[in-house]
Amino acid sequence: MLRGIDISHYQDGLDVAGLPHDIAFVSIKATQGATIQDSEFQDFYHTLRDKRPEIVRIPYHFFSWQTDGVAQAKNILSRGIGFTKPGTAPLMLDLEADSDSADEKYVIHNRQVCIGRVNDFINYFKANGGSQKIIIYSNDDFIKNVICHTWPDTIFWVASYQKNPPPVIPGWPYKFWQYSQFGQLNGTTTGGHMDLDYFLGTQEELNALANITT
């Protein structure tokens, strides 16, 4: 398994050029909804590209369930990310809602509308210069009990906070696993403020995902 982290403006000031050498990938928040653009994305992304090109960069969009999918796709596309450039993996689309939140209740009562918005996002994004593969992130409870849907031809990233990789959910054969949300750069899973992840594959597989040839 290959180690990674995901970051946003909440990690403002993180020296990504000085990340430990066992960090193989970094997922970086780029956008949320139709209008929010993360203030640290450009700095994190370009610093990694220029100073640590061996680290795979994974831009991500946090999906807003009550917002038009096409408008959200336009937001991430406006960031000018070169998804075909070496070192950049496909977009990670973050599909989640806090347990018992208004968003979760909205999805439960409007499931087909929400699935349609995700489909609209993916179709517009792919047709207008986005990556042709999509990585979909979610947590196991939301997958099983709320969204109850899967998307073909996607790569899955599951959030499940436990010691060992979680069982595969039918229809969601994951390649990425977020195993802590309170981690530290040294790999400790408690006492910090960072999401820690694994890629369940080889370096060659990860490089292929990010258009890196050796």
69-88 per-position pLDDT tens digit: 999 999 999 999 999 999 99
Return mean pLDDT, the chain.
94
Instruction: List the domain range (segments joined by +) for residue 154.
Output: 2-209
The answer to whether residue 87 is domain-embedded is yes
Overall domain count for the chain: 1
Task: Let me know if residue 214 belongs to a domain.
Answer: no
Calpha distance 121→32 (Å, rounded) = 12
pLDDT in tens, 23-81: 999 999 999 999 999 999 999 999 999 999 999 999 999 999 999 999 999 999 999 99
CB count within 10 Å of CB 84 equals 10
Residue 214 has pLDDT above 80, yes or no: no
Kind of pairing between the strands at 2-7 and 194-199: antiparallel
In a domain, residue 132? The reply is yes
Region at 95 (left for phi over 0; alpha for psi -120 to 50; beta for the rest): beta
Structural domain includes residue 185: yes
Q: Cα 11–178–153 angle (5° rounding)?
A: 115
d(CA 107, CA 114): 6
pLDDT (0 to 100) of residue 30: 98
CATH number at residue 27: 3.20.20.80
